[in-house]
Amino acid sequence: MVKRIAVLTSGGDAPGMNAALRSVIRAGLYHGKEMYVIYDGYRGLLEGDIHQVNKDFTSDIINRGGTIIRSARVPEMKEEATQKKCAQILADYEIDALIGIGGDGTYRGLAALHKQGVKVVGIPGTIDNDVGSTEETIGFSTALNTICDCVDKLKDTSGSHQRCSLIEVMGRDCGDLAMYAALAEGAEGVICVEHPLHEDKLFRKLRKMKAMNKSHAIILVSENLYDIKELAKKIEDATGFDTRTEVLGRLQRGGSPSAHDRILAARYGALAVQTLVDGGGGVVTASIGGEYTTVPIEEAVEMKHRHKHGLRDLIDMLQ
Ligand code: F6P
């Protein structure tokens, strides 16, 4: 039976990680478990930075961005020697199960520890929404709201100057932030892996807008695809639209989590603990078709990010 449960946050932080931490710790205490936090993700685990916590630890964190137990990227987790060391440290501390909150990299670390005999549960937390085993990750909704807030502001100044704004958003290899923001903002264009750039089509549209004296054009671009400044120059040369670039960067990762992310975090956290209480493990929590469920971690790490059905067509239809 699981008696001691530890929790860590890992990879890029995401708004709502604290709410997930709160949910895990409170659900664990509710079920009579001893709860532990590990600071700085897997790095803290390797250093034995493991501390028992009580309910007070989780007071006033539900609305806080970032992660109060901090996060880290630890490439050494790919090495078996490091994985074995982590498993040994958890055994030394008599930790019976580990809950990891994060994205793809976090899941790979958990899957490796699972192979070393550690009971693990993963909770999807990343602004990218790129975790294949679930339709929703903690942090995506907040980051999307942040992007929309920025784009609303950019529309004001873009309109005053009759400009085209090229706005680069995060997402690693996943276009969800760009596509959902384009839909929510009624953007004139979106460029991402799932919706690649068709230069002729975009330039034609912008030329037409310019000819109609439209006040501004908004184009969302996913990171890691283009040199956004070069692309802006190309657009300016081809369309005559005065074009400016904005890279929203890590601003997208900060801020108080949306109500949606807080509730998602509460659901996933409680489900992760319940899974362990019921004797399960080696899984990740997921939201699929409106249901909260779990998926075996070996399968989860192999799943490709789910393309959102009909999103691309809807964007095209409404542009
Ligand atoms: O995974 C979250 C994310 O913000 C990605 O969108 C981005 O590519 C990456 O992290 C940036 O990571 P870092 O802050 O470590 O440079």
Instruction: Give the pLDDT confidence of 104-118 residue by residue, as tens digits.
Output: 999 999 999 999 999
Amino acid at 102: G
- Which pLDDT belongs to residue 309? 76
Cα atoms in the 13 Å half-sphere on the side-chain side of 21:
35
Mean pLDDT of the chain: 97
Task: Indicate whether 89 pLDDT > 80.
Answer: yes
Does any ligand 1 atom lie closer than 6 A to the CB of residue 128?
yes
Give the residue, by CA position, lying nearest to ligand 1 atom 14.
12
Does any ligand 1 atom lie closer than 6 A to the CB of residue 103?
yes
pLDDT band of 65, cuts 50, 70, 90: very high
Q: Please give the distance, rounded to the nearest whole angstrom, from the Cα atom of residue 314 to the centre of ligand 1.
A: 28
Question: 41 in the Ramachandran plot: left (φ > 0), alpha (ψ -120 to 50) or beta?
Answer: left
- Which pLDDT belongs to residue 57? 98
Q: Please give the distance, rounded to the nearest whole angstrom, from the Cα atom of residue 204 to the centre of ligand 1.
A: 33
Give the residue, by CA position, lying nearest to ligand 1 atom 11.
12
Residues 45-63: tens digit of each pLDDT: 999 999 999 999 999 999 9
Does any ligand 1 atom lie closer than 6 A to the CB of residue 102?
no
pTM over 0.85: yes
Helices (H), 93-221: 104-115, 140-161, 176-185, 199-211
- Which pLDDT belongs to residue 306? 75
Q: Please give the distance, rounded to the nearest whole angstrom, from the Cα atom of residue 104 to the centre of ligand 1.
A: 12
H helix count then E strand count, the chain: 11, 11
Does any ligand 1 atom lie closer than 6 A to the CB of residue 305?
no
Give the residue, by CA position, lying nearest to ligand 1 atom 8.
172
pLDDT band of 310, cuts 50, 70, 90: confident
Task: Give mean pLDDT, residues 85-94.
Answer: 98
Task: Indicate whether 319 pLDDT > 90.
Answer: no
